[in-house]
Amino acid sequence: MEETTVQEEKKKNNKQPRPQVLRCAVQNYDWGKIGEESEVARLFSLNSRMGIEVDKPYAEFWMGTHDSGPSFVVETWHETGNSSSDSESVTLKSWISENPRVLGDKVVEKWGHDLPFLFKVLSVAKALSIQAHPDKELARALHNSYPNLYKDDNHKPEMALALTKFEALCGFVSLEELKGVLHNVPEIVELVGSVEAEQVLHVNEQDGEENKKFVLQQIFTSLMSACKDSVSKMVSKMKSRLIMENKVRQLTDKEQLVLRLEKQYPADIGVLSAFFLNHVKLNPGEALYLGANEPHAYIYGECVECMATSDNVVRAGLTSKLRDVPTLCSMLTYRQSSPDILQGVALNPYVTRYMPPFDEFEVDRCSLPEGESTVFPAIPGPSLFVATRGIAQIQFASSYEHSDQAVVTKGSVLFVPADTEITVKTATTAGMGLELYRAGVNSRFFFDS
């Protein structure tokens, strides 16, 4: 009898910690949608049980362990399925540090006692800055030299998955399109000089990639480094020209975009630099991934975003924040191509997976109709779940022989440990289904490593 008791106690002590309910952070950047118009505001209000300030911008809903917007563990599911709120002051980061096995052995071996990804929802009312994220080597150098500006030493590959129609600038346009820009936007030629422009116009597709990148870097750096007075003059001149031309012809999508940007950021070099970048339009359910050292700017819409756990941003336009033009212009890859749009891969009738070429993360989108169920199989890494619509019951079962269940509604955010199977079921009488997103370590990391 005594031996059985000891074995039961060991078994109890070896149990994997249960899934955790999280209270998450919000960022009120000025480009966010205002008040009730913002999906971020609605999710944050439901998640935090706080009201929405009607005149305040709500830009980003953060789920994860980054120090600039940490999530807190506020509820733990017990044997009965009930919850308690006695650990509200515990950050998810510190809770994981005390329970590292929730990450799984391979994740701990690769990234230590922290989540390797940061999960967000974004509500974009006006354009974010022209920016890029450094690779690991540059991130370490920037953090060591300017720790107040670059808060961590990690790289920040990221992926945006559209919740609504979503617009972005991403990567440099093709050589052919760039030549068209120089023929059709005289203000850019006047700003950078005819010598720089002629260099681009005389490059052809047969020239080596390094030469094409060098010429692009030269003209882009000249553009971004132009003095404020000259930029203001050329932006105003371009605006006046396009308004006049709109009376006799239909403006192109890019021309209409730069006029929108000019209204948001008058006299800003980012307005002109938009001509150099691809204008990408995502439909709901489409995703865009961004590697290190690639220029981009989100323009409008709402999305789920996932990235490596970092907040390093090098900005150079369309912003009132600090600009670091020399760093941005020196770090870019200057790759000229249209970005890849991910449609996702269906795992079953209700779940679609988006797998960018980065180890740190992948995202699953679950759209579950009323009265249906689906299973997320146990995986060897942790997951974050956020419900963006509807209501459902979730049941958790782990290899440590315990089972819990919870009801999730819009705004619910859960941390789910490694090796935990998740069953999601919607009611037949609720009158609605469920929209659920999961972020986790990229499955290729487990299969290929």
- 158 assigned ligand-binding residue: yes
- Binding residue per annotation — 279? no
**Which 8-state DSSP code applies to residue 315?**
E
The conformation of residue 101, written as its DSSP 8-state character, comes to G
Write out the DSSP string of 374-399.
EEE---SS-EEEEEEEEEEEEEEEET
Structure tokens at 183: 């023929």
Question: Rounded to an integer, what distance in angstroms lies between the CA atom of residue 449 and that of residue 440?
Answer: 16
Distance of CA 329 to the CA centre of its chain: 22
**Rounded CA gap, 113 and 98, in Å?**
9
DSSP string, 113-143: SS-SEEEEEEEESSPPPEEE---HHHHHHHH
- Spatial neighbors of 20 by CB under 8 A, at least 6 apart, are 73, 75, 76, 92, 95, 414, 415
Residues 6+ apart with CB under 8 A from 368: 350, 374, 390, 392, 424, 426, 433, 434, 435, 436
Residue 389 token pair: 């619509």
Residues tagged active-site: 315
User: What's CA 392's distance to the chain center, in Å?
Assistant: 26
> Cα 200 vs. chain centroid, distance in angstroms?
33
Q: Is 133 annotated as a binding residue?
A: yes
**Best CA proximity match to 317, nearest among 381, 422, 231:** 231
Is 402 annotated as belonging to a binding site? no
| Whole-number Å distance between alpha carbons of 294 and 132 | 5
Distance in angstroms (rounded) separating the CA atoms of residues 370 and 390: 9
Q: Write out the binding residues for Zn(2+).
A: 131, 133, 158, 296
